Amino acid sequence: MKNILVVLFSVLFSLISFSQEKEKQDELSLKKATKYLFEGNQLAKQDDFNSAEMEYRKAISENPSSAVGAYNLANAYYKKGSLEEALFRQQEVVETSTSKEEKHKAFHNIGNILMQSKKCKEAVEAYKNALRNNPTDDETRYNLGLAKECAEQQKDKEDKNKDNKDQEDKQEEKKDKEDQKDKEGDNKKDQKDKGDQDKKEGDDKKDEEGKPKEDKKEQDKGKQDEQNKNQQQPQPQPGKLSDQQIKSLLEAMNNQEQKVQEKMNAEKQKGVKVKTEKDW
């Protein structure tokens, strides 16, 4: 029993010692963080934002659960014009903050950053969240009114741009249709012109009777053949009979002689007497 009490006492003493040590460490970290925050604020007042950023980062490293370091770092980024970094750090503040006042300040600054970035619609929601955490802040309420007006102007501009774009699209579509129509008309004209040209070429190849004309080369070749043929055939000479004429004449004489011979033979067969002249 005595041994058990000794063990329990030892454990309890260790826990107390650990807790005390942790408190000392936390206290030391808080002191360091506070020191870094103070130095960062002094540098920021001197517009030395790069050095101030380093001090704020040290403060966050020493005390990550504190929103003060991230909040001051976000403000340093905002003054430098690094809006994206500033927005990121303010969002960190919203996540780590435990009080409504800290959340109110973070949302208010988020609204300011979004307004600088011309994101008025998003800024309206940020200011509304700020007022949910502190409804009495007149500055936030005033900024909310500006953000709403800006958001309306942006919406009107977007609607106008959309209408203009729609009008441009319609005009472009109409122009495309007209271009297509003109193109189709040109194609039809080209086809008609080609048809007329083909018809004209066809008519040129026909003679007066509507028959296809012979090719010039064919005509020349025909004339040449006719000339060659005429040159090959013997031409009758003046005052002389051609071989063909002599042949025809001989055939006619033979035919006449044959007819006379046939007639005489026929008369002999009938016994016809032939008269002779008297002697005196």
Which positions ≥6 away from 176 have C-beta within 8 Å?
Answer: none
Residue 277 — pLDDT band, cuts 50, 70, 90?
A: very low
Partner residues linked to 212 by β-bridges? 206
Residue 137 — pLDDT band, cuts 50, 70, 90?
A: very high
Residue 189 — pLDDT band, cuts 50, 70, 90?
A: confident
Residue 64 three-state SS: coil
Phi/psi zone of residue 81: left (φ > 0), alpha (ψ -120 to 50 degrees), beta? left
Q: Strands (DSSP E) along 168-276, which ranges? A: none
pLDDT tens for 68-108 read: 888 888 888 888 888 999 999 999 889 888 889 999 999 99
pLDDT for residue 280 is more than 50: no
Residue 212 three-state SS: strand
Sign, CA torsion 219/225/231/236:
negative
Residue 109 — pLDDT band, cuts 50, 70, 90?
A: very high
Q: Which domains does the chain have, with CATH numbers?
A: 16-160 (1.25.40.10)
Q: DSSP secondary-structure letter at 117?
A: T
Q: Is the pTM of this model over 0.75?
A: no
Sign, CA torsion 200/205/207/210:
negative
Extract the tokens encoding 280.
């005196």
* Mean pLDDT (whole number) for 121-136: 96
225 against 151, higher pLDDT: 151
160 against 1, higher pLDDT: 160
Which positions ≥6 away from 30 have C-beta within 8 Å?
Answer: 62, 63, 66
Residue 28: C-alpha distances to residues 31, 39, 55, 56 (Å):
5, 17, 16, 17
CA 43 to chain centre: 54
Extract the tokens encoding 132.
């949910």
Residue 206 — pLDDT band, cuts 50, 70, 90?
A: low
* Mean pLDDT (whole number) for 10-14: 61
Burial code (b: 16+ CB inside 10 Å, e: under 16) for 244-265 equals eeeeeeeeeeeeeeeeeeeeee
pLDDT for residue 271 is more than 90: no
